[in-house]
Structure 1
């Protein structure tokens, strides 16, 4: 696992029009989020969104939310980060009225960011039908406001890009994952900030990450971060290894870890962040590990119940889009930020080409190289940033999942 000498191809001087936010960040999409603040408000929020599902004459409307009834700092901070994400232009909050979520604080955070925001409480608004009607009316007005929001020039240096793998098989660590690593190295060299994660799938790779740390302190923190994940999964009694991984040819957790590690490329690692922590503005490109395993004792079970939860956490750190590698095949996209699918297995691509943006399986067939697929992924990033929908967007995928977690506030700082 010696780091390779990654090429640094010259990217085109790509610029496109994005949406300028009050904090100076720029978005590649302009989404209006309708947010349920407890599962009991999910139906009402979904019905509000349904009215705008087929309308393409204005900002898109996405449904997100938190199902829990009792409060959680992690969930509060993630929704605050997500609803002030540069891809979000406004938000409607839908509350039942007796849940523990601090909707007033959330509304104030969004309002302070300069975005249109409104809160509806079902118990005060007259019930289901009345709230749906009021919600649809407000969304229609807010979309008109958002359509007039300022557009500005964006470039690679404005982008934050995440990566995650799902439905991995024996081809993932040979084709798609290292190809994403090549793309990361190129994007970072040209000013983008990139995030990799899945600490539970990096067990055994910590010495290699430590060797790439920008400082000795960060090297120690990277090692400790993976050790925490190993302890957490040990208490659970199983690792991040699904039956589908074994069916696809992976034989050990170590094999899966090496494949997951390959997505990070060969650039120096600049820091560790936790969900909801924005990637720091450093004036240059950078690579960050997202620690997704909760601090403290095991409280809420599996730390990432699905790939969708991992994508949401990447978005909460500012990711404009996510590079999703898959060997077995996955159809999930996300609300708020586009997902670009990089398919590792040529047979999977042949069956699911309508869901796969990049066919990295051609590497196995001898039709192309890792470097060429890495360059293709970079071009996909530029195209999607410029406004072309990824295939998950074309298919209408807007998956979203947010549960309960805990992170020690004293450990939230990024080691950069």
Structure 2
């Protein structure tokens, strides 16, 4: 049975840069809050088409944000990009469109100040999107895809006692299978690995990975101390967790058991197949340490910016969000949560705790769900129109993966 599941395949969308997507989306990007209304109005004119909106609210320059927007504009699930700006901001829509076009995407950009205001810009944007949608349907090459073509990212949120017993456990088993089939798996939330440094280091694939993991862990611990906040919440306590170490054990198990190939930063694709740790914690900066907004939407977008065509959100207590650019599969290890939020939750891992199936059977079922989603079946979040996103000001040196020497 397992061999048949491992050979499941589906049709995907080939991009000119060689990447393969499971969706064929048009992405509208606003480069400042002042252009968000116009960007969203352009996209809303196409309710029956696969059009997503993301953007950045800030006006000032931020290298982290620019890298992230560029990564999302070149994501495998994206076939066309329209960048919309006001005209005063540092983040330039023309630059985003140019780099998207260089990667083979259909791309264009608009400045509201140059187009004559809100109404004229919306009308011009609608014409551009109409042409993009038409061309994507006619010109995108359809190719075979399998698990070896996939990058899947995972984070957990709203954890309870079942997360470390079922929800994150089945993802860990699936990640093992995905890596064995030649795919790429990404786990994040190093701030939810506090207390597990030795365990992480023992799984380093090589010396370089060991150094990167150690530096990433040490930075995360210092960050938690600096902001006086560890990644544990009242909801976790209500769900039966008692300490950050207990939560960490449940969180890290979603990475499975395969060697950790190394650490990547936000907007960096894994350089080769295998299991990778995503560092989304701000790096030290001479002005200030930098603050992140630790919500699930930010974490999902971080994973998606690294090329994940599909992301998992494991939640014991329940969540309803989805994500822009890539589908989100919401998994819970709590059968009561699944029953209560059945319209929102995609997968009930709690069946293994109820004795309804084995862990291997559960993993097989999740693999089948992935194949169906990649084949075009909508996730619960997609059906309900959940396309949340969050992109924050942050400082990250994309080349720093070793201890910081001040």
Correspondence for 2:277 among 285, 289, 301: 289
Matches within 5 A, 1:241-260: 241-260=232-251
Does 1:398 pair with 2:387? yes
Task: Measure how far apart 1:138 and its partner are.
Answer: 0.9
1:412 positional shift: 6.2
- Give the number of aligned pairs: 400
Q: Is the Cα contact below 8 Å between 1:9 and 1:186 reproduced in 2?
A: no
SS at match of 1:410: coil
How far off is 1:302 after superposition? Answer: 4.2
Q: Deviations over 1:201-259 (max 9, x none)?
A: 01112211111111123123212211110100111011111221112111111111111
- 1:101-250 alignment, distance < 5 Å: 101-148=91-138, 149-250=140-241
Displacement of 1:14 after TM fit? 1.7
1:26 aligns with 2:20: yes
Q: What residue is the counterpart of 1:46 in the other structure?
A: 40
2:343 alignment partner, SS class: helix
TM-score by length of 1: 0.93
Q: Does the CA contact (< 8 Å) of 2:290 and 2:394 recur in 1?
A: no
> Does the 8 Å CA contact 2:174/2:363 hold for their aligned counterparts?
yes
Answer yes or no: is the 8 Å Cα contact 1:277–1:412 preserved in 2.
Answer: no
Q: 2: CA distance between counterparts of 1:61 and 1:299?
A: 37
The correspondence of residues 252-401 of structure 1 with structure 2, limited to 5 A, is 252-280=243-271, 282=272, 285-297=273-285, 299=288, 302-401=291-390
2:68 is matched with 78
Cα distance 1:355–1:204, how it changes in 2: closer, same or farther (>3 A)?
same
Q: Is the 8 A contact 2:187 2:278 kept in 1?
A: yes
Per the alignment, do residues 341 and 9 of structure 1 end up closer, same or farther by CA in structure 2, a change over 3 Å counting?
Answer: farther
Q: Counterparts of 2:365 and 2:332 in 1: how far apart (Å)?
A: 13
Contact 1:343 1:359 in 2 (8 A): yes
- TM-score, with length taken from structure 2: 0.95
Deviations 1:244-298 (A, max 9, x none): 1112111111111111101000011111100011111x3xx40000001111148
Rate the CA distance shift 1:332–1:300 in 2: closer, same or farther, 3 A. farther
Per-residue CA deviations over 1:56-92 (Å, capped at 9, x if unaligned) read 5xxx111111111001111001111100011000011
> Secondary structure of 2:155's partner?
strand
Q: Would the aligned equivalents of 2:291 and 2:394 in 1 still touch at CA under 8 Å? A: no
Q: Deviations over 1:314-359 (max 9, x none)?
A: 1111001001100110011111100011112111111011111111
Asked if the contact 2:191–2:231 (Cα under 8 Å) also holds between the matched residues in 1, the reply is: yes
Alpha-carbon offset, residue 301 of structure 1? 5.3
| Alpha-carbon distance change, 224 to 412 in structure 1, aligned in 2, over 3 angstroms | closer
| 1:248 to 1:358, Cα distance in 2 relative to 1, 3 A | same
Please tell me the root mean square deviation across aligned C-alpha atoms, in Å. Answer: 1.7
* Contact 1:304–1:310 (CA under 8 A) maintained in structure 2: no
CA distance in 1, matches of 2:54, 2:31: 9
Distance in 1 separating the partners of 2:164 and 2:309: 24
Instruction: Please identify runs of 4+ aligned residues in structure 1 that moved more than 6 A.
Output: none
Alpha-carbon distance in structure 2 between the residues aligned to 1:245 and 1:290: 23
Q: Specify which of 73, 78, 82 is matched with residue 88 of structure 1.
A: 78
- Contact kept in structure 1, 2:85 and 2:92, CA below 8 Å: no
How far the C-alpha of 1:10 sits from its partner, in A, is: 5.9
Runs (5+) with no aligned partner, structure 2: none
SS in 2 for 1:147: helix
Q: State the 1:299 CA deviation.
A: 4.0
